[in-house]
Amino acid sequence: MAIEEISGCVNNRYFIRIFNVDDYSYAFVNQHYVARQSLRTDSGFIDVTAYIHDGISNFTFLAYNVFNPYSWGFQIMNNNSTIFADTAGIAGSVSASRRLRPNQFVYNRMISVNTAKYSIVSTTPTTSCTGKNDKYSIRLYNIDDTSYGYVNQQLIISQSYTDSGFVDVTPYVQNDSNKFTFLTYNIAATYNWGFQIMENNDIIFDDIGGLVPIYGADSGNTSRSNQFVYNKTIFINVTKCENMTSASSTNCFVPKIILIPATSTLSSPIQFQRSQDFFISSYIQLMCNISLATIMKWTINNCIQTNCSSQIQIAPSINTTFNELYIPARTLPYGTYEFILNVTIAASSALTSSASAFVAIVSSNIAANLVQFGTSMITSGHQQNLTLDPGSYSVDPNELIFNRSKWTYDYYCGVYGVQSFPSMNGSLLTIDDPMNPSCISNRNQIQFPSSSL
């Protein structure tokens, strides 16, 4: 005999609603983040049964005011009965209070509800393993700027500033150990993240940093721009009950791979400037009734004319086992490269396919700065020396530092608004050219030490 658990005796479900919002309202159940609503929006009733405990469950509601007026509205519903409701003010017009309370929480209330669940004895036959009908879902929420969710190295979803809701990832779960990986990428300023894993109707992992849009993670740290600020892998062991089948009933095919960007050839590669970070992503279609687990591997070959057989070493910091390959700026020298993704069905190493993309790494234009900070207008006295030093102050975005010895320096001069740069036969004349009627009266005093003037 097996024990079947039902909640509240018969189909007991719990819902919350956030409404009448000004400026931001939040809801948590048993310390799990459930939802956020902004000015004058209504969440409708949200099923929160998955967050409920057997016993006492705590519902916490918060309202945050940026500037007056402020208002709130919260409800809890058990099945079809409202068991808690609290509202004050009218969103956007009538404040809940005349008291000025800018940039702070104006409502913080926790309601404890007895959500005891009951068990009955059923006649369901027992099975020899427990994972037969387990369902797994992930949720990305509280996001700033972009978050990613992977299961067993396959990208499931990416989300920017919005809540994904629970996404079913059961097809990606394999028998034995499974890796759930979550990443958050910050472009600038503060950042936030929120990740949850649900097994059947139970939250088994939850991690939140900061609270969008009020305060950032890591105590509001703003110094981690253009980088991943969260990278965590959770290992979950799953035991599946599998029916005994013959090899003849197995139906597996090689994966189908589409790389993004999609169209590139050796003669017409995708171009990226060396100063840019870039991604090569993939869409992978899997057809296998044994398991959807895969083994992925990226390789990069250097192309010389029509030959791309020279494989290069990839830095250990670059992950080559995801379905998306991230290349930081200034990683690859100038040239053309072939990026190859190999995908193998883990249950059968013979089922392997690959796809290629061709990328050309090209240079970015340098910023030639004659003086520090690149000032475009300089005031200098008639009796003062003026030093122009582009070798010290120019910027080469393709390199970490500007190498003055790699460049030649030619100087031209004209009177702004009066005289254009002198030229002959369509070619500009430098200020030290004898044919140049230079705007500098005493050219004998001009010095050219190295890269400066």
In whole angstroms, give the CA distance from residue 256 to residue 346: 15
Nearest one of 195, 207, 197, 209 to 50, comparing CA atoms: 197
Structural domains in the chain, sorted by start = 2-121 (no CATH), 131-238 (no CATH), 248-362 (2.60.40.10), 366-453 (no CATH)
In whole angstroms, give the CA distance from residue 153 to residue 418: 64
68: its two tokens: 């007056």
Residue 6 pLDDT:
35
pLDDT at 88 over 60: yes
Nearest one of 205, 326, 223, 334 to 269, comparing CA atoms: 334
Q: Which region among 177-186, 197-206, 274-283, 432-441 has the lowest average model confidence (pLDDT)?
A: 432-441
In whole angstroms, give the CA distance from residue 174 to residue 167: 17
Residue 432 pLDDT:
76
Contact 57, 27 (CB under 8 A): no
Residue 122 pLDDT:
42
pLDDT in tens, 300-316: 999 988 889 899 999 98
Mean pLDDT of 276-288: 85
Q: Which region among 116-125, 158-167, 217-226, 406-415 has the lowest average model confidence (pLDDT)?
A: 116-125
Mean pLDDT of 112-130: 57
Following CA atoms 136, 140, 146, 150 in sequence, which dihedral angle do they give, to the nearest 10 degrees?
A: -10
Per-residue pLDDT band at 453 (split at 50, 70, 90): low
pLDDT in tens, 393-452: 887 777 778 788 888 888 888 777 766 788 888 888 887 787 877 676 666 666 665 555
In whole angstroms, give the CA distance from residue 130 to residue 124: 13
Residue 128 pLDDT:
41
pLDDT in tens, 340-369: 999 998 888 888 999 999 999 998 888 888
Following CA atoms 197, 202, 207, 208 in sequence, which dihedral angle do they give, to the nearest 10 degrees?
A: 110
